Structure 1
Amino acid sequence: MTEKEERLIHKFLNKTLSEEDWKTLLDWLENPENKKVFNTYVKAEYLLHMSFEEKGRNLTYDTLLELMDENPYQGTPKLWSNQKWWAVAASIVILLGLALGTYYWVGPSDNGTPELVKKITIEQGTDGATLTLEDGTEVELKKGSSYKNSYATSNGEEVVYADDESKFDELYNTISVARGKQFAMTLSDGTKVWLNSDSKLKYPVSFHPGDTRVVELIYGEAYFDVSPATENQGSAFEVQQEHQKVTVLGTEFNIKAYANETLLLTTLVEGKVAVTYQDSETMLEPSDQSVVDMELGKIETRQVDVLAETSWRRGLFLFKNKTLEEIATTLSRWYDIDIEIKDRAVGKIEFKGTLSKDQPLEVILELIKNTKFIKNYDIEEDKVVIW
């Protein structure tokens, strides 16, 4: 990319492109290779209901977004607030991934040229877990390393258990995923499990033929793609948790049961499951979510957006009317850093948007800051403070 195209991108970010500049940029983006370069520098999406003074300019921005030709669920950053008093949405744009590190464009310098400012980077989470064997031995599983024993193999990104129904019966392993980590696994029956940050699962290294296949989600969030009962001599599959039990024959579902949260959420993607809480049993259909309120001691069912509830497994944060407090909780787990919001009223503001997990935290903080609902943020040694 030449200096000329780089200047055009900076003008685009600042919305100062002339009619001639627009034509030049659009012509340049007709080349797929140029589009890739553009998308490397600018991962941008404009807010819904944007208001521009000129109708023609609005159409031009729409045309440009079409030329970018990106699936909105592939990590294109966008975030906006749902507050009624937000009269005119402000555009959110981010400059990402320059060769020498992470920068943000802050506008022209004194001599009129764009100025890039180096920022401290809080890196995103990665694959990794601690595997605790039946004898108490702890094995660190991390990206780039491998591990193998007589019944399990790991490439550092997932662990796969062998299908042996007798030799290892009654042996249990535990896998713990810390904050800032995620991990995948395949149980001996073929069931696939994805574990989110700050989660812990206990399970047998093999299942006894004909018996109910039982695992325990001790805490955290896990997505299950259960091997059908028809492939396991009719055996049902059961996920136990301190406050509930989920029984299935073969399906996909997500359980969110963090230790410091009062709501226990089970979201059904496909199939059918029975959720047992105290003396109540609730049947879920696809797109149903059971909500166990442990403070009130009751269970309810509601319809939800399954994609939003399970987006973490696909490497996304997909927020739908989530408060800044809820967003901060999610981010703190993935980036392994505490986030404090000074103003309680600000913490209650609801946002919605799609963000990629594969980016430094500062990128997301800048998005939030650009909505104008927060004044600023500060990165301290062990936490982020938002005000």
Structure 2
Amino acid sequence: MAIQALRLIVKYFTRQASLSELDKLSEKMKDPHTREEFENYAKINFIIDYNIKKFNTAKSREQLLAFIDREKQASRLRRAVHLMKYAAVLLLFCGGAYLVYEGFYEKTSGSITTTTIEVSNIKPGSDKAILTLQDGSHVDLTTENITTATLKNNGKTLSYNDRYADDTTPVYNYITIPRGGQFQIKLSDGTRVWLNSETKLKYPEAFIKGETRSVELLYGEAYFDVAPASRHTGTKFRVIHPSQEIEVLGTEFNVRAYRDESHIATTLVAGKVAISTGDIHYILSPNEKASLDLRDHKMDISVTDVSDEISWKKGIFSFTGMSLEAIAKVLNRWYDIQIIFTNPELRNVKFNGMISKKENIEEILNLIVSTNSINAYEIKNKHVYIK
């Protein structure tokens, strides 16, 4: 394969290709050797590997080229926006993100869409948290590096030294993750917890030897990698929520319990957990998800793709069959914004895709626009209007 074609493919994946270079790549894709090399590069990438499981590669290639042709005809009048949409299509198949709308391939480009953006200071989320001590005082873990005899904070992770409580009454602290934040904490027993945006966890500075190790997820989403009971005289680990309890011996699992959602989702990655709520008791197996409906307190157990459920921990938004309304809630928390639908019907549009949490909100919105599922969006301060 010619060196020029290889360079074009590399630029394609790294989002550096210009409009003319994308035109050249479209032509070179007619060559079977170029297509083969394209597919080899695509398979290396984790996200496109996920996409290949869902879609036929050859078919996706043809749909991509057809979409490029349509966009070239419709977007010549707005070259800058055109390049942004090309980047979105590029990511759609081969880069840091892809997003597929059910009607994407059936729709053709209509009138040119427009967006209105006032000076936008919307940034992706970052590591930030507030520590509330038992005496009620607050510590901003984002700005204060702390090292004491019992703990250490480096601005990303709050770590407690391995130890047991000296007293029979544990000292409880709270760690709160605001909208637009994420953080990690290592508890005194060695358990590691990843905390997502808009989450609050209550925990003891040190557990009491021989007693059940308990923490309380007041709201939000957390991923637990629990230190084995064998390291702690056989004591179990318990995660308490006002609507359910999870008991484990040593395992990895994710709990999503946001205040604006009607379900609590518990997904088991490895090991074994027992979930209890009222008279309901269930033992989850790996790759199972328990969904508790807070309206009628019924629990549904299903097999799930664990990678989708815990992708946030790895810096990726994963949307599988998710409505635009549900996606908006995720974006609201991470970017600390408020998405408003001017057309209520858009709330129910379904998507499949993966997007890096490092993307700017405008890039994600342009990606959604490129699927032809919405016409445009408007940003005013921290309000985003979907049209």
**TM-score category by the smaller chain?**
0.7 to 0.9
1:220-256 CA distances to partner (integer Å, 9 max, x unpaired)? 0000000000011100000000000000000000000
1:153-199, Cα deviation, whole Å (9 max, x unpaired): 10000100111213365101100000000000100000000000000
Q: Where does structure 1 lack aligned partners over 5 or more consecutive residues? A: 1-21, 44-51, 91-105, 107-116
* Alignment map for 1:141-156 (pairs within 5 Å): 141-142=141-142, 145-156=144-155
1:55 Cα shift?
A: 8.3
1:129-278 correspondence to structure 2 within 5 Å? 129-142=129-142, 145-167=144-166, 170-278=170-278
Identity %: 38
Secondary structure class of the residue paired with 2:5: helix
Deviation at 1:69, TM superposition (A): 6.3
- The structural deviation recorded for 1:28 is 2.8
Corresponding letter in the other structure for 1:160:
S
Contact 1:183/1:195 (<8 A) preserved: yes
Structure 1 stretches of 4+ moved >6 Å: 52-55
| Number of positions where the alignment pairs a residue of Structure 1 with one of Structure 2 | 327
Partner residue, 2:37: 63
Letter in 1 for 2:262: T
C-alpha separation in 1, matches of 2:130 and 2:249: 29
Give the structure 1 partner of residue 123 of structure 2.
123
Residue 274 of structure 1 aligns to a residue whose secondary structure is: strand
Matched residues in 1 for 2:316 and 2:32: separation? 28
Give the secondary structure class of the aligned counterpart of 2:329.
helix
Partner residue, 1:97: none
Partner residue in 2 for 1:365: 365
Structure 2 unpaired stretches of 5+: 19-25, 49-94
State how far apart, in whole Å, the 2-side matches of 1:263 and 1:280 are: 15
Go from structure 1 to structure 2 and tell me whether the alpha carbon gap of 1:294 and 1:118 turns closer, same or farther (over 3 Å shift): closer
Q: Quick one: distance in 1 between partners of 2:264 and 2:12? A: 43
Tell me the CA shift for residue 70 of structure 1: 4.5
Change over 3 Å in CA distance of 1:324–1:373 after alignment to 2: same
How far is 1:336 from its partner? Answer: 0.4
Mapped partners of 2:247, 2:207: distance in 1: 16
C-alpha deviation, 1:25, in angstroms: 3.5
Secondary structure of 1:41's match? Answer: coil
Rounded Cα–Cα distance in structure 2 between residues aligned with 1:303 and 1:258: 21
Return the TM-score normalized by structure 1: 0.78
2:79 counterpart residue number:
none
Shift of 1:66: 3.1
In the TM superposition, what whole-angstrom CA distance separates every residue of 1:328-360 from its partner, at most 9, and x where no partner exists? 110110000001122222210110011100121
Measured after TM superposition, the shift of residue 322 of structure 1 is 0.4
The whole-number CA distance in structure 1 between the counterparts of 2:310 and 2:370 is: 26
SS at match of 2:381: coil
Find the counterpart in structure 2 of residue 11 from structure 1: none
Asked if residue 76 in structure 1 is aligned to residue 70 in structure 2, the reply is no
Using structure 2 for the length normalisation, give the TM-score: 0.78
- CA distance in structure 2 between the aligned counterparts of 1:149 and 1:276, rounded to whole angstroms: 37
CA contact (8 A) 2:131 2:138 kept: yes
CA-CA distance at 1:382 after TM superposition = 2.5
Measured in 1, the distance between the counterparts of 2:253 and 2:303 equals 14
Distance 2:108 2:128 in 1: 39
Looking at structure 1, the residues matched to 368 and 223 of structure 2 have their Cα atoms a distance apart, in angstroms, of 28
The 1:303–1:141 alpha-carbon spacing in structure 2 relative to 1, beyond 3 Å, is same
3-state DSSP of counterpart to 2:309: helix
SS of residue in 1 equivalent to 2:385: strand
Distance (whole Å) between structure 2 residues aligned to residue 138 and residue 58 of structure 1? 62
Q: Does 1:287 align with 2:253?
A: no
* Separation in 1, partners of 2:298, 2:254: 19
SS of equivalent residue, structure 2 residue 230 = helix
Please state whether the residue corresponding to 2:358 is helix, strand or coil.
Answer: coil
Map of 1:87 onto structure 2? 106
Report deviation, 1:76: 1.5
The amino acid of 2:279's aligned partner reads D
Alpha carbons of structure 1 residues 28 and 118: separation in structure 2 relative to 1, 3 Å: farther
- Sort the Cα spacing of 1:66 and 1:118 in 2 relative to 1 into closer, same or farther, 3 A: farther
1:39, 1:68 within 8 Å by CA — same for their partners in 2?
no
Which residue identity is paired with 2:98?
Answer: K
Q: What is the rounded CA distance, in whole Å, between the counterparts of 1:321 and 1:164 in structure 2? A: 44
Tell me the distance in 2 between the aligned counterparts of 1:260 and 1:118: 28
